[in-house]
């Protein structure tokens, strides 16, 4: 390796002779070329003037305070503190000088700035010699300024600055090969340092092609990171919102530079397309702050205006991001205290100017709900992106670093480039499972602790004690990984933590969130369930219910709940915590479901300071401590509310094995909340709630909510309420008039003829009035809302048994994968080592089976029907015969059956042999049957079989079928052997057709799909669902809702995340090798010729029309 002196000498030789008259590589070139400069200058005084004004204001301040903003002359002073600000500010200053070249004072300052940085012997911070991040900022600043201001530099200045850029980039490349950030992925250090290396290398390459190696290797590493990042399909980063903007800034910069210089297009990358929604849903009402989950501050570390304009210009192009950028900028102008810190306040101005597109007009996002679910992160928010005065709520329950990275590590995916958790270093995670924040009407109440030490007490979560292994909370122990400045992800148990969201729903202006986090606590504490439910009852009132269960031998005796409040004056009066802040009072009340535990509980308030971000931060808290026992579960309800409503304390009205009921009264309206605490048992949930959801609510104002299901009011109210209301009004008017008339007449003379008539018919009048009063009273009672079980009319409802069928290679494994991600279901293939056919006369075909079984054929297949019924209705008994089987698969399945005896069975066929037997299967299973039939466009299906060579196996299977299938041999069911198969039989036995694989496969699809659709046509819509594979890919969220609505079960967040990951990441494939993704749905049009496509369409057209597949239109 050449010495540093040798490198410098080599550089001097290369740079000798560089003069103004030489034909130099054109600059600028990083973000735009020289020909674009005039356009940029024009935009600075027109379409981009708002951003240009921010840049101008910043430079004005720099010129007025040069001593504060120019880098110090002494390198020791430069290295004596955090120095990232110098590189960041230089980018903005250089952009200003490019846009406004007549400002000679600013240009001179920029030259001095660059000369000073280039003259330093090193750029790291002395106290952090192994931290390369400060070097990255300086390298990016100097390289960017060199690129922008190249044509203003004298020859000697160019030489000096370029030499330093090349030397620093070379050094950085050597560090890249040995440093952790050169091996790791999806962390701030990796993206920041690698993008700095890329920028330096691109600038150097414009003069020295030997730097191409630096560019290529850096880009290759970043490409791997982008591939891994595509697995995070919700746009989140587990390090937190504000810290994510640090990482995202480098991701966006790389995306732009890779497209401009390397021809790589990441603009449709799923993480980029979703990052806007991550920012939107975590922006507090009023656009002043962001959610403080994990390592976050009250504001974004970088941007987010630059991030947002980038997204609108190159990724989403809908105006949503420009709209949010304007909102944030305006809020910052109105609330100056919430500007970015001194170190970062101007760091993204140049990129905001470059990336902004005036052609994309700001437009408010069109959203159906204020609830946002980040299924990878394990976070759900309510009220994000709303105007000031809207309530904001967050709840978190997720795995270390999010679902995607957790799965990559645990399953060993991408193992050629991923070395376990060491490739990700999740030090910015927090012990914050089941944490929540509450901002009623947009004002802070229950708040985050923000960036700081990793302590459970700072995250509004639960602790347990006493614990001999407690390290930082006295006798109490929090979640694994806590007690350090960085999250201790190497601690035992951290990697096994599988906390997850259970529910996330918004219904009728209320919100229900819940999560399970028992695995986030050390096993020695003996916890078997730690389940928290959060209900936003009104914008001012939040109900939180904790459910804790212990193992029989647990030594844990108490739980301790902590709720942090960063602002206001906190007091404790008469057992109620009261917070006074900004002229408003906020209250915390609580109760326990057990009177004895309530008597032995305690509440206290306190506060402390903790170090963070080179300073200290304060928090104050309410601490509720409750006894827990091994014999019964412990349930604690907390009520958080503010001035403006009359609220009664919470109380438990029922507490049983399967759940609890909690009630409170708000402004004379009683709210009754029901929670199924055995959340992973659908039968237990059904017993407690009357439906298989996770929670419900009823109020005396007439509101019934089944969370996760459709809104409900009793049928008689829905049909007759308007009529009854009108009748009530009419009766009230009549009674009032008659009563008034009688009162008047009773005081007047009876000599008048009218009065005489009234006197003669007085008893009739009294009877009429009394009857009307009775009717009026009964009508009033009838109209009063009663708190009843919303599922009262579904007393005969039974939990579903699911049967999935399709042709092979149709994508059914994606559907069954959704059910696999929920503890409510057990999935098994048929036939398989777990489920074997009984020995009966019928011989199934392979791949397909043309024998039609209808519901009228039950008496002909009694053994098969008994076999199928036994599997679904008595799985424990049925599968017990497998006890002697030593297969790992069988053993794991038996363990699952015993552990989850009430899980609903999902039986999925491995091929198309059951497609024509679905009516029979539904009747054999019973009224609880839910049959899902999956179809796929015949053109990609045929193309996939041809491309993967699977057609050879299909030929063999068809030949087997026509030799062994019972109804083919005996035709024992007469007309039930669909005649369409006769033609296919002729095709498969004729030698002239053996080479015509494409036609054969098209006929297979046509015959099987046509027969299935026709023969299944009479099945009830309640028990039969036809699903297109393409809908799964194009509309995954709508499709999963449709599927789970069909089976009458709630959509689990984990199942939704699985489907989004499979369909959006472009990292999953079908068994035939096709990549799954919406951009890959049309791949067959390139693989097949136009003639081949027309052939398939001619054969399959009748059925294609039935299921909505359109023909290709050729010019």
Q: Which long-range contacts (CB under 8 A, 24 or more apart) does 155-158 make?
A: 155/18, 155/19, 155/20, 157/111, 157/114, 157/115, 158/18
Q: Report the chain's mean pLDDT, rounded to a whole number.
A: 87
Average pLDDT value for residue range 711-729: 42
CA separation, residue 236 to residues 52, 183, 214, 230, 588 (Å):
30, 22, 30, 11, 32
- Contacts with 1091 (C-beta within 8 Å, 6 or more apart), sequence order: none
- Contacts with 735 (C-beta within 8 Å, 6 or more apart), sequence order: 769, 772, 773, 776
Average pLDDT value for residue range 460-470: 93
Q: Which of 197-201, 267-271, 700-704, 983-987 has the lowest mean pLDDT?
A: 983-987
Starting at the earlier edge strand, list the strands of the sheet with 435-439. Answer: 371-374, 379-382, 392-396, 435-439
pLDDT of 870 strictly over 70 = yes
The answer to whether the CB of 1062 falls within 8 A of the CB of 1076 is yes
CA separation, residue 924 to residues 610, 776, 857 (Å):
65, 52, 10
The answer to whether the CB of 959 falls within 8 A of the CB of 968 is no
Question: Which comes out higher in pLDDT, residue 428 or 716?
Answer: 428
How is residue 300 written in tokens? 């974004």
* Structure confidence by residue, pLDDT tens digits, 227-270: 999 999 999 999 999 999 999 999 999 999 999 999 999 999 99
pLDDT of residue 992: 44
pLDDT of residue 958: 78
* Structure confidence by residue, pLDDT tens digits, 381-435: 999 999 999 999 999 999 989 999 999 998 999 999 998 888 888 888 999 999 9
Confidence class of residue 743 from pLDDT cuts 50, 70 and 90?
low
pLDDT of residue 740: 65
pLDDT of 59 strictly over 60 = yes
What is the rounded distance in angstroms from the CA atom of residue 648 to the CA atom of residue 459? 27
pLDDT of 1012 strictly over 80 = yes
pLDDT of residue 985: 59
pLDDT of residue 575: 84
How is residue 1025 written in tokens? 């669902």
What is the rounded distance in angstroms from the CA atom of residue 828 to the CA atom of residue 319? 46
pLDDT of 993 strictly over 50 = no
What is the rounded distance in angstroms from the CA atom of residue 731 to the CA atom of residue 744? 20
pLDDT of residue 20: 38
Residue 903: strand, helix, or coil: coil
Closest residue by Cα to residue 261 from 211, 309, 304, 317: 211
pLDDT of residue 339: 61
What is the rounded distance in angstroms from the CA atom of residue 32 to the CA atom of residue 355? 11
- Contacts with 431 (C-beta within 8 Å, 6 or more apart), sequence order: 454, 455, 456, 459, 461, 478, 479, 480, 481, 482, 487, 520
* Structure confidence by residue, pLDDT tens digits, 1074-1096: 999 998 999 999 999 999 999 99
Average pLDDT value for residue range 326-347: 77
String of DSSP letters for 832-901: SSSS---S-S----SSB--B---GGGGGGSHHHHHHHHHHHH-HHHHHGGGGG---HHHHHHHHHHHH-T
Average pLDDT value for residue range 1023-1034: 95
Average pLDDT value for residue range 152-160: 95
Q: Please, what is the Cα angle at 1081 between 1076 and 1083, to 5 degrees?
A: 100
The answer to whether the CB of 559 falls within 8 A of the CB of 625 is yes
What is the rounded distance in angstroms from the CA atom of residue 85 to the CA atom of residue 117? 12
Starting at the earlier edge strand, list the strands of the sheet with 904-909. Answer: 825-830, 904-909, 801-806, 929-935, 1024-1028
Question: Which comes out higher in pLDDT, residue 939 or 976?
Answer: 939
Average pLDDT value for residue range 615-619: 83
Alpha-helical segments (H) within 150-187:
155-178
For residue 122, how many other CB atoms are within 10 A of its CB? 14
pLDDT of 781 strictly over 80 = no
pLDDT of 21 strictly over 50 = no
String of DSSP letters for 92-121: HHHHHHHH-TT-HHHHHHHHHHHHHHHH-S
Q: Is the peptide bond before 1110 cis (omega within 30 degrees of 0)?
A: no
Confidence class of residue 101 from pLDDT cuts 50, 70 and 90?
very high
Q: Is the peptide bond before 475 cis (omega within 30 degrees of 0)?
A: no
Average pLDDT value for residue range 646-669: 96
Confidence class of residue 611 from pLDDT cuts 50, 70 and 90?
confident
pLDDT of 727 strictly over 70 = no
Closest residue by Cα to residue 705 from 740, 674, 670: 674
Residue 331: strand, helix, or coil: helix
pLDDT of 349 strictly over 60 = yes
What is the rounded distance in angstroms from the CA atom of residue 676 to the CA atom of residue 43? 59
Name the range with the highest mean pLDDT among 694-708, 778-792, 975-989.
694-708
pLDDT of 208 strictly over 80 = yes
pLDDT of residue 460: 95
Closest residue by Cα to residue 973 from 884, 893, 1067, 856: 856
Average pLDDT value for residue range 201-207: 95
pLDDT of 715 strictly over 60 = no
How is residue 846 written in tokens? 């392979």
Q: Which residues of 764-797 are buried (b: 16+ CB within 10 A; e: fewer)?
A: eeeeebeebeeebeebeeeeebebebbbeeeeee
The answer to whether the CB of 1088 falls within 8 A of the CB of 940 is no
pLDDT of 15 strictly over 50 = no
Phi-psi sector, 240: left (phi>0), alpha (psi -120 to 50), beta:
left
How is residue 467 written in tokens? 């614990």
The answer to whether the CB of 781 falls within 8 A of the CB of 885 is no
SS3 content of the chain, % helix, strand, coil (to 5): 45, 15, 35
Q: Which of 649-658, 891-900, 963-972 has the lowest mean pLDDT?
A: 963-972
Average pLDDT value for residue range 114-130: 93
* Structure confidence by residue, pLDDT tens digits, 493-508: 888 889 999 999 999 9
pLDDT of 863 strictly over 70 = yes
What is the rounded distance in angstroms from the CA atom of residue 1081 to the CA atom of residue 1100? 18
């Amino acid at each position: 390796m050449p010495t540093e002196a040798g490198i410098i000498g080599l550089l001097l030789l290369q740079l000798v002779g560089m003069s103004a008259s030489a034909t130099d590589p054109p600059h600028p070139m990083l973000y735009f070329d020289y020909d674009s400069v005039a356009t940029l200058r024009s935009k600075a005084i027109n379409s981009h003037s708002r951003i240009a004004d921010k840049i101008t204001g910043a430079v004005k301040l720099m010129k007025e305070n040069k001593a504060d903003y120019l880098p110090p002359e002494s390198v020791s002073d430069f290295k004596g503190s955090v120095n990232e600000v110098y590189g960041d500010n230089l980018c903005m200053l250089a952009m200003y000088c490019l846009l406004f070249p007549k400002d000679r004072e600013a240009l001179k300052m920029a030259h001095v700035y660059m000369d000073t940085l280039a003259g330093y012997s090193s750029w790291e911070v002395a106290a952090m010699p192994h931290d390369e991040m400060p070097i990255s900022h300086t390298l990016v600043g100097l390289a960017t300024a060199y690129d922008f201001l190249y044509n203003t530099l004298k020859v000697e200045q160019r030489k000096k600055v370029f030499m330093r850029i090349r030397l620093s980039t070379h050094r950085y490349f050597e560090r890249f090969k040995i440093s952790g950030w050169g091996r790791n992925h999806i962390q701030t250090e990796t993206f920041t340092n690698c993008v700095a290396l890329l920028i330096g290398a691109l600038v150097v390459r414009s003069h020295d092609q030997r730097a191409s190696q630096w560019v290529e290797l850096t880009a290759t590493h970043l490409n791997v990171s982008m591939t891994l990042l595509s697995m995070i399909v919700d746009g989140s980063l587990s390090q937190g919102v504000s810290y994510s903007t640090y990482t995202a800034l480098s991701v966006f910069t790389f995306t732009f530079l890779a497209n401009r210089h390397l021809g790589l297009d990441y603009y449709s990358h799923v993480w980029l397309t979703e990052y806007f929604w991550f920012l939107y849903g975590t922006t507090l009402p009023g656009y002043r702050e962001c959610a403080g989950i994990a390592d976050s501050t009250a504001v974004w570390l970088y941007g987010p205006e630059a991030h947002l304009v980038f997204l609108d210009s190159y990724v989403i192009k809908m105006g949503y991001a420009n709209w949010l950028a304007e909102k944030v900028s305006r809020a910052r102008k109105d609330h100056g205290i919430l500007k970015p810190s001194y170190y970062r306040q101007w760091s993204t101005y140049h990129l905001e100017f470059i990336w902004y597109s005036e052609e994309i007009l700001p437009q408010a996002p069109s959203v159906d709900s204020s609830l946002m679910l980040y299924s990878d992160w394990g976070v759900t928010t309510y009220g994000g992106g709303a105007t000031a005065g809207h309530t904001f709520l967050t709840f978190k329950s997720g795995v270390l670093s999010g679902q995607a990275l957790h799965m990559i590590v645990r399953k060993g995916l991408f193992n050629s480039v991923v070395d376990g958790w060491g490739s990700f270093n999740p030090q910015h995670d927090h012990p914050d499972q089941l944490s929540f924040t509450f901002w009623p009407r947009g004002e802070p109440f229950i708040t985050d602790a923000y960036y700081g030490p990793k302590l459970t007490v700072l995250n509004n979560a639960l602790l347990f004690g006493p614990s001999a292994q407690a390290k930082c909370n006295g006798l109490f122990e929090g979640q694994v990984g806590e007690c350090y400045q960085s999250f201790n992800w190497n601690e035992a148990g951290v990697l096994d933590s599988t906390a997850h969201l259970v529910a996330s729903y918004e219904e009728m202006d209320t919100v229900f969130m819940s999560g399970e986090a028992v695995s986030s606590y050390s096993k020695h504490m003996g916890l078997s369930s730690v389940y928290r439910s959060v209900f936003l009852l009104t914008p001012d009132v939040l109900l939180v219910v904790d459910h804790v269960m212990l193992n029989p031998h647990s030594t844990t005796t108490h739980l301790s709940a902590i709720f942090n409040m960063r602002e206001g004056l906190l007091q404790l009066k008469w057992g109620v915590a009261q917070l006074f802040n900004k002229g408003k009072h906020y209250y915390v009340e609580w109760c326990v479901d057990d009177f004895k535990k309530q008597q032995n509980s305690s509440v206290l308030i306190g506060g402390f300071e903790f170090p963070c971000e080179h300073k200290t931060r304060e928090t104050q808290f309410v601490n509720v401590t409750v006894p827990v026992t091994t014999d019964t579960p412990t349930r604690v309800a907390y009520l958080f509310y503010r001035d403006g409503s009359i609220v009664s304390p919470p109380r438990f009205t029922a507490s049983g094995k399967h759940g609890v009921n909690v009630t409170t009264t708000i402004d004379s309206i009683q709210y009754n909340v029901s929670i199924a605490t055995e959340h992973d048992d659908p039968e237990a949930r059904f017993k407690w709630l009357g439906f298989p959801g996770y929670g419900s609510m009823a109020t005396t104002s007439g509101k019934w909510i089944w969370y996760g299901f459709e809104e409900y009011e009793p049928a008689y109210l829905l049909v007759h309420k308007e009529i009854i209301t009108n009748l009530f009004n009419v009766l009230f008017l009549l009674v009032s008039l008659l009563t008034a008339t009688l009162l008047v007449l009773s005081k007047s003379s009876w000599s008048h003829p009218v009065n005489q008539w009234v006197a003669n018919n007085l008893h009739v009048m009294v009877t009429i009035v009394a009857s009307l009063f009775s009717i009026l009273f009964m009508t009033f009672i009838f109209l009063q809302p009663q708190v009843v079980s919303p599922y009262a009319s579904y007393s005969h409802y039974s939990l579903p048994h699911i049967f999935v069928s399709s042709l092979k290679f149709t994508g059914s494994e994606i559907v069954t994968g959704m059910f696999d991600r929920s503890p409510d279901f057990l999935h098994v293939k048929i036939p398989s080592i777990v489920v074997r056919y009984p020995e009966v006369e019928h011989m199934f075909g392979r791949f397909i089976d043309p024998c039609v079984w209808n519901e009228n054929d039950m008496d002909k297949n009694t053994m098969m029907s008994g076999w199928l019924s036994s599997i679904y209705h008595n799985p424990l008994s049925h599968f017990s015969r497998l006890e002697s089987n030593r297969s790992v698969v069988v053993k794991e399945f038996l363990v699952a059956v015993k552990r989850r005896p009430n899980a609903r069975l999902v039986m999925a066929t491995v091929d198309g042999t059951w497609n024509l037997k679905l009516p029979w299967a539904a009747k054999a299973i019973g009224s609880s049957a839910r049959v899902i039939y999956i179809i796929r466009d015949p053109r990609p299906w045929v193309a996939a079989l041809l491309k993967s060579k699977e057609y050879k196996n299909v030929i063999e299977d068809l030949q087997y079928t026509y030799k062994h299938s019972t109804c083919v041999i005996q035709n024992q069911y007469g007309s039930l052997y669909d005649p369409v198969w006769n033609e296919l039989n002729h095709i498969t036995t004729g030698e002239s057709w053996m080479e015509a694989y494409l036609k054969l496969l098209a006929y297979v699809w046509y015959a099987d799909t046509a027969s299935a659709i026709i023969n299944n046509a009479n099945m009830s819509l309640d028990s039969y669902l036809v699903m297109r594979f393409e809908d799964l890919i194009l509309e995954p969220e709508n499709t999963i809702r449709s599927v789970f609505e069909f089976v009458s079960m709630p959509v689990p967040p984990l199942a939704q995340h699985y489907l989004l990951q499979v369909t959006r990441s472009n990292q999953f494939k079908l068994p035939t090798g096709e990549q799954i993704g919406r951009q890959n749905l049309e791949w067959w049009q390139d693989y097949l010729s136009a003639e081949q496509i027309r052939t398939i369409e001619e054969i399959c057209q009748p059925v294609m029309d039935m299921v909505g597949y359109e023909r290709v239109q050729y010019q």
